Amino acid sequence: MNLSLLSLLIMTLSCLPAQAQLRYPETKRVDVRDTIHGTIVDDPYRWLENESHADVPRWVEQQAALADSVLRVIPYREQLIDRLDAVNTFERRSAPWHRSGMTFFYRNDGRQNHSVLCMQRDGSSEVEVLLDPNTFSEDGTVALAFAIESRDGKYLAFGKTEGGSDWRDIYIMDIASRKLLPEVIRFVKNSGVSWYGDGFYYSRYDSSSSASKSLVQRNSQQYVMYHRLGSAQSQDELVYTDPSNPEQFVGCYVLEDSQYLIRTVRKGNQDGNEIYVRPLAEPFREWKKIYASATASFYPRHDNNGVLYGVSTDGSPNGRVVRISDPLGNAAMETVIPERNVVLDELSFGGGRMFLTYMSDVHHVVEVADLNGKKLADVSLPGIGSISGFNGFTTDTAVYYTFTSYTMPTTIYRYDIASGKSSVWQRVQAPFDPSAFTTEQVFVTSKDGARIPMTILRKKGVTGPRPTMLYGYGGFNVSITPVFNVNYMPWLEQGCVIAIANLRGGGEYGEEWHQAGMRLNKQNVFDDAIACAEWLIANGVTSREVLALNGSSNGGLLVGAVINQRPELFRVALPEVGVMDMLRFHRFTIGWNWQADYGEISKPDEFRALHAYSPYHNLRSGVEYPSTMVMTADHDDRVVPAHSFKYAAMLQHVYQGSRPMLLRVKLRSGHGDVNRRKQLEGVADKYSFMWSEMGFTPTFKR
| Helix locations, 32-101, DSSP H | 55-72, 77-88
Residues 424 and 413: beta-carbon distance below 8 Å: yes
Among candidate residues 426, 347, 348, the one with its CA nearest the CA of residue 393: 348
For 535, phi then psi, to 5°, come to -65, -45
Residue 505: partners with Cβ closer than 8 Å, 6 or more residues away: 473, 474, 475, 476, 477, 513, 514, 516, 517, 518, 522, 524, 525, 554, 597
Active-site annotation holds for 586: no
Considering the candidates 137, 643, 671, 692, report the single residue annotated as catalytic.
Answer: 671
How many CB atoms neighbour CB 238 within 10 A? 9
- Find the DSSP H helices in 494-578: 511-515, 523-538, 554-565
Give the separation between CA 48 and CA 29, rounded to whole angstroms.
10
Let me know: does 658 contact 21? Beta carbons within 8 Å: yes
Nearest CA to 175 among 142, 149, 138? 149
Our measurement of the distance from residue 367's CA atom to the centroid of its chain's CA atoms, rounded to an integer in Å, reads: 27
Which residue pairs from 16-20 have beta carbons closer than 8 angstroms and sit at least 24 positions apart in sequence?
A: 19/658, 20/658
Separation between Cα atoms, residue 440 and residue 455, nearest integer Å? 6
Report the C-alpha gap between 157 and 174 in whole angstroms: 9
Q: Name the phi and psi angles at 561, rounded to 5.
A: -70, -45
User: Which amino acid would we find at residue 175?
Assistant: I
The answer to whether 668 and 137 have CB atoms below 8 angstroms apart is: no
Helix, strand or coil, per DSSP, at residue 488:
helix
| Contact between residue 474 and residue 450 where contact means Cβ atoms under 8 Å apart | no
| 671 annotated active-site | yes
Amino acid identity, residue 160?
Answer: K
Pairing of strands 627-633, 661-666: parallel
Please, which residues bridge with residue 321 across strands?
311, 337
Nearest to 55, CA basis, from 675, 649, 700:
649
Of 94, 553, 644, 692, which one is the catalytic site residue? 553
Among 499, 502, 483, 580, residue whose Cα is nearest residue 546: 499
DSSP per-residue letters across 587-607: GSTTGGGGHHHH--TTSHHHH
**Which segments within 614-660 are labelled E, that is strand?**
627-633
**Residue 160 to residue 271: CA distance in whole angstroms:** 29
- Closest among 469, 468, 441 to 455, alpha carbons compared: 441
Nearest to 45 by CA among 642, 538, 587: 642
The catalytic residues are 553, 671
